[in-house]
Amino acid sequence: MSVDWTPGIRAFCAHWSHAPMLQQTFATLESEFERDSDACIDAAKGLVECACRLIIEELDDPAAPLKPSKSDVPLAELLGLATRALELGEIRDRAFSNLIREHNKLADALRVLRNEGGTVSHGKDGFIAKLSTHHRRASMLAADAIITFLHEAYLEREPDPVLTLEPFERFGDGNALIDAHSSLVAEADDEGGLLVTITLPNKEEIPLAVTPAQLLFGVDREAYKLALNACREVEADGEEEVA
């Protein structure tokens, strides 16, 4: 794109780089917009839905869940749930619900226009093509405004480490604080694992038992995969020797 129509969407997708459905929808949005295809409007709506669902999933309180039990939920309702999960004011909630509804109307109107227009004469097809271009851009801008609003509000909150889908790196300040004021002692146990004792600044101790697989999976997934392949080879060699 010569013009970046979606800076807010791009920032949101970069933050949630580990969400595959979001990344796939964003790739569709960009490719369809480049092709001057109206399918980018559906992709824009899909991105708003993905953003709402991610935020609801991330911030939902098990004691008072907001996550809908059904999969087919109107987009305006999803936005309302997302803004409630973000603990935003009701007035702002209604305003952005209205924006969602208008966003849906815009997409529906374009589909009707395209379906009813078909191949027409007297230059009408050129008019429809030009109108379609403006609809595509409007849809992209509306989706970007909504997702920017959600993302900026989300970044102001601190995720719950117990429930979050965010990676370890999201908690940089907290990680540094724990590392600066805590200490650990580790020793091997009789079964080949680690017994780790973490001492907090108030002298409270947290004992942990960690197996090699848990350590590898939690710290270095590539190393886990390497270890898994090596162990599978040993298992296979052992079965061949027995046979």
Residues 210-243 have pLDDT tens digits of 999 999 998 899 999 999 999 999 888 776 565 5
- 202 vs 100, higher pLDDT: 202
The mean per-residue pLDDT over the stretch 40-55 comes to 89
- 197 vs 2, higher pLDDT: 197
Tokens of 83: 């803004």
Going from the C-alpha of 155 to that of each of 163, 193, 217, the distances in angstroms are 16, 38, 27
pLDDT at 1: 45
Q: Does residue 141 surpass a pLDDT of 50?
A: yes
Percent of the chain with pLDDT over 70: 80
pLDDT at 241: 61
Any idea what the Cα angle at residue 67 is, between residues 64 and 73, rounded to 5°? 140
State the pTM of this model: 0.72
- For 107, residues 6+ apart whose C-beta sits below 8 A from its C-beta are 41, 42, 44, 45, 135, 139
Spatial separation of the C-alpha atoms in residues 54 and 26, rounded to whole Å: 14
The mean per-residue pLDDT over the stretch 118-138 comes to 59
195 in helix, strand or coil? strand
- Least trusted range by pLDDT, from 80-94, 97-111, 132-146: 97-111
Q: Taken in order 50, 52, 58, 63, is the CA torsion positive or negative? A: negative
